[in-house]
Amino acid sequence: MVAIASFPFISGPEFESGCTQILIRYQAGGHLQSDWECVRLIQGHDEATAYLSITKKIEGIGRRPDSSIEEYDDSVEALEEIDEEALPLTTATSQGLTVEYNIVLSPTYQVPVLYFRFRDAGCALPLAIDTLYQYVIPEQFKSQVESFGVIGGITMTEHPVTNLPVFFVHPCNTATALEASFHEREITSEQYMQLWIGTVGWHVGLRVPIAIASDKTDHLDVEING
C-alpha cells in the first residue's frame, strides 16, 4: 500500500482508504473480539468524504437519576444553536451504555477528528461530562484530558454531518501528537488510522482490538452506507 504524502496530515482519499482498511479488518476479524460491536463507513453529505463509525458497549453501569440540562458541563451552554428540546433527559441503565464514535476528516486541520455520543436502547444519550470521565476516559489519561494535554480538550459541539450534539476531541494538538508517536519515514493510510486511534481514541476509550489489528485478513468487499 502506498505511503501517505504529507504525514502527519492526511488527504480525503487517503483518509477514506484508511477507514476502508479498518472496516475490512473488522469484517475479517470482528467475530474474534467483543470490544467493537459495529463498524460502518458512512458517506457524508453531497458526496463528501466518508467517515468511519465505530460502536462499543460499556458494561457495568448502574441506573442513575434523570439528568437535567442544568447538570451538563458549561460547554453545553455554549451551543446556543442547539435546541434544548433536542437534549432529552436520560438514564444510564444497568444494561450498559453504547458509545458511538465517529471519525471525521477535518478539512481545516487535515487530520481526523473524533466525535462521540452515548446510546441507550437505541436513543442518543447526552450525559454529563462527569459521567464521561467516570466511565469512558481511562484513569491514566484523565489528568491529560483535564489539562488540555497532548490530545487537546474534550467539549461538546454539533456533529458536522448529522448536526446532533456530541462530545468531540479538539484536533489542535493532533498533528503534533502523531509526529511524536511515529518516527519512521513512511506510513500507509491504514497504519496512519491505527496510529491515530491509538494516539487520540485511546484517551476516550477507543482502541483497536488485537484481533482487528492483526494482519490475518481476507479480501472483502466493503459497503459504504449512505
205 band by pLDDT with thresholds 50, 70 and 90: confident
β-bridge pairing 165-169 and 154-158: antiparallel
For residue 156, what pLDDT is reported? 86
Higher-confidence residue of 79 and 38: namely 38
Separation between Cα atoms, residue 190 and residue 22, nearest integer Å: 7
Backbone angles phi, psi at 42, to 5 degrees: -110, 130
pLDDT, one tens digit per residue, over 105-159 is 999 999 999 999 887 655 555 556 766 777 777 666 566 656 554 455 788 899 9
β-bridge pairing 224-225 and 165-169: unpaired
Quick one: cell of 119?
446510546
pLDDT, one tens digit per residue, over 152-202 is 578 889 999 999 989 999 999 899 999 999 988 899 999 999 999 999 998
Residue among 104, 99, 11, 8 at smallest CA distance from 50: 104
pTM for the structure as a whole: 0.76
Q: What secondary structure, in 3-state letters, does the chain show? A: CCECCCCCCCCHHHHHHHHHHHHHHHHHHHHHCCCEEEEEEECCHHHCCCEEEEEEEECCCCCCCCCCHHHCCHHHHCCCCCCHHHCCCCCCCCCCEEEEEEEEECCCCCCEEEEEEEEECCEEECCCHHHHHHHCCCHHHHHHHHCCCCCCCEEEEECCCCCCEEEEECHHHHHHHHHHHCCCCCCEHHHHHHHHHHHCHHHHCCCCCHHHHCCCCCCCCCCEEC
Q: Is the dihedral of CA 162, 173, 135, 63 positive or negative?
A: negative
Return mean pLDDT, the chain.
77
Separation between Cα atoms, residue 113 and residue 110, nearest integer Å: 9
For residue 215, what pLDDT is reported? 63
Domains of the chain, by residue range, sit at 12-211
> Domain 12-211 carries which CATH code?
3.30.1460.50
